[in-house]
Amino acid sequence: MTQCCINPSILSADFVNLEAELQRIGNADAVHVDVMDNHFVPNLTIGLPVVQRIQAVSPVPLDAHLMIADADRWAPGFADAGLASVTFHAEASIAPVKLARELRSRGAKAGMALRPATAVEPYLDMLSEVDMLLIMTVEPGFGGQAFLDVTLPKIRRARAAIEGSGIDVAIQVDGGITEETITRAAEAGANVFVAGSAVYGADDPAAAIDRLRKEAARTLRAATE
């Protein structure tokens, strides 16, 4: 299984002091940047120009989660900005295989995201085209939501398919991740964890990252023994 990663979401950060907030999570594996357009989801956050500035000052790589309509048109620009990983929603792409290949050709890892109610089975045959599968554990659009346990069977099915195929694809989960829920997600087969409130709501975000990583790594080790 791909290594355990903790990617804090800056959706829960102080946007007025964003550069300082990034410095507080220097021990993270990546910064999760939620891009929302008020079309695909009922919320509006930031666009490419702001992401480019975040890219310029971030101490760790950027992991963009594009909750936007017309992903085929807009996602490649985020890869061109030099982001380490760009994730688009399968529900927002007309040609997901083509888009994933384009992201990779522009130097970014390609991620594909699924809403909680979107079945994973129609996308299993294209897992070799992506580097990461993001299974949303809340409805996309807002931070601070409670983890949806109903998504755990889907994570298990995705992990079984990945292990059966022998390909190296990470499973990321996003939404409601805490020191308690991260264990359930890891047991199901996730290994990349997005945490917003659990990190930026803590007095010491770096220490919170360490605690989350410890819990997830312990669970993943136990699963492979």
**Residue 31 · residue 63 · CB < 8 Å:** yes
Strands 109-114, 132-136: pairing kind: parallel
Question: Which among 34, 37, 131, 203 is annotated as catalytic?
Answer: 34
Structure-token pair, residue 206 = 């770096």
Question: Which among 29, 72, 174, 204 is annotated as catalytic?
Answer: 174
In 3-state terms the chain splits into helix, strand, coil percentages (rounded to 5) of 45, 20, 35
Is 34 part of the annotated catalytic residue set?
yes
| DSSP β-bridge partners for residue 34 | 65
Structure-token pair, residue 69 = 């309509």
* CA 138 remoteness from chain centre: 12
Which residues have a Cβ under 8 Å from the Cβ of 7 and sit 6 or more positions away?
28, 29, 30, 31, 32, 63, 172, 192, 193, 194, 195
Q: Could you give the residue numbers annotated as active site?
A: 34, 174
